[in-house]
């Protein structure tokens, strides 16, 4: 599979419509040669964007190893359309599926899914549904998606009463409704991990104070082989130190070469 650069630069931006008609801003980055044999699809963390420093740094490390990377903004975040209240977990999974379908039809089929934090959990579910995906990587990801509701646990009662509320996550205000919370309760991630028949790499920092290292242990225990774990020692949850995210990208590229080249 030869993925060729479609522009004069090594990066192309496309706007991909999801199944609800929402435009998802997507950047495709190529190696300096302008072509690659493989394409990875990167899903960012909860309330983040695809422009997060860690996402860009990991993508750069992958393109340096000859792997093209498509990174996009989930519904209601970054440059994508829609409202954040529509960006519950199942909607995140559907966004990954829809971007994957579009890329397959117009560019090439991504055979590697990478997800940061909740994006990693969503990538596991998407990988279980997409036959052409050969491997999946999680970075600081929760083993159970209900973990995410702790961000607004104090306002659950208000949601039940009023139907919607405003929450503050990472210092930013978002409006959510009851359907948003319910969207984190409809899938049992541990069962999906146990049934996943794809290679999985679990990367996590033992000093992560947002999603504890226990989550990595649970994902690893539930997953079947081939499975791998790599410690991101001393890194924070957002991998803000470029040294950590560059290391993660280099490890991902080396690890994935064993599975996506088969």
Give per-10-residue mean pLDDT for the chain (262 aa): 54 95 97 89 93 96 96 96 86 96 96 96 97 97 78 64 66 68 76 96 96 96 97 96 97 96 74
Query: Which DSSP category does 234 fall into?
Result: T
Beta-carbon contacts of residue 3 (< 8 Å; ≥ 6 apart):
30, 35, 36, 37, 38, 39, 68, 107, 108
- Give DSSP secondary structure letters for 121-138: HHHHHHHHH-TT--EEEE
Q: Which two tokens stand for residue 188?
A: 């049992």
Strands 135-139 and 38-43 come out as: unpaired
Claim: this prediction has a pTM higher than 0.85: yes
Write out the CATH class of domain 3-148+187-260. alpha beta
What pLDDT does residue 33 have?
Answer: 83
Q: What pLDDT sits at residue 170?
A: 57
Return the biggest CA–CA distance within the chain.
57
Interatomic CA distance for residues 234 and 245, integer angstroms: 12
- pLDDT, position 8: 43
pLDDT of residue 38: 95
Q: Specify the pLDDT at position 7.
A: 46
Q: Where are the domains of the chain?
A: 3-148+187-260
């Amino acid at each position: 599979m030869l993925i060729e650069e479609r522009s004069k630069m090594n990066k192309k931006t496309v706007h991909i419509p999801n199944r609800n008609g929402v435009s998802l801003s997507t950047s495709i980055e190529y190696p300096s040669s302008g072509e690659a044999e493989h394409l990875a699809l990167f899903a960012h963390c909860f309330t983040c964007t695809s422009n997060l420093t860690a996402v860009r740094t990991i993508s750069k490390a992958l393109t340096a190893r000859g792997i093209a990377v498509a990174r996009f903004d989930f519904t209601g975040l970054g440059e994508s359309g829609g409202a954040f209240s529509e960006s519950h977990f199942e909607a995140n999974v559907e966004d990954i599926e829809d971007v994957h379908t579009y890329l397959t039809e117009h560019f090439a089929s991504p055979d590697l899914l990478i997800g940061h934090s909740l994006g990693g959990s969503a990538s596991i579910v998407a990988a279980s549904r997409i036959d052409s995906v050969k491997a999946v990587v999680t970075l600081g990801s929760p083993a159970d998606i209900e973990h995410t509701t702790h961000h607004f646990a104090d306002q659950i009662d208000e949601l039940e009463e009023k139907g919607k509320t405003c929450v503050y996550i990472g210092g930013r205000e978002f409006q959510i409704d009851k359907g948003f919370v319910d969207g984190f309760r409809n899938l049992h991630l541990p069962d999906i991990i146990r049934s996943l028949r794809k290679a999985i790499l679990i990367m996590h920092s033992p000093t992560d104070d947002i999603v504890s290292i226990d989550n990595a242990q649970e994902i690893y225990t539930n997953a079947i082989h081939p499975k791998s774990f790599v410690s991101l020692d001393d890194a924070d949850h957002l991998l803000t130190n470029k040294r950590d995210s560059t290391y993660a990208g280099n490890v991902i590229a080396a690890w994935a070469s064993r599975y996506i080249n088969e």
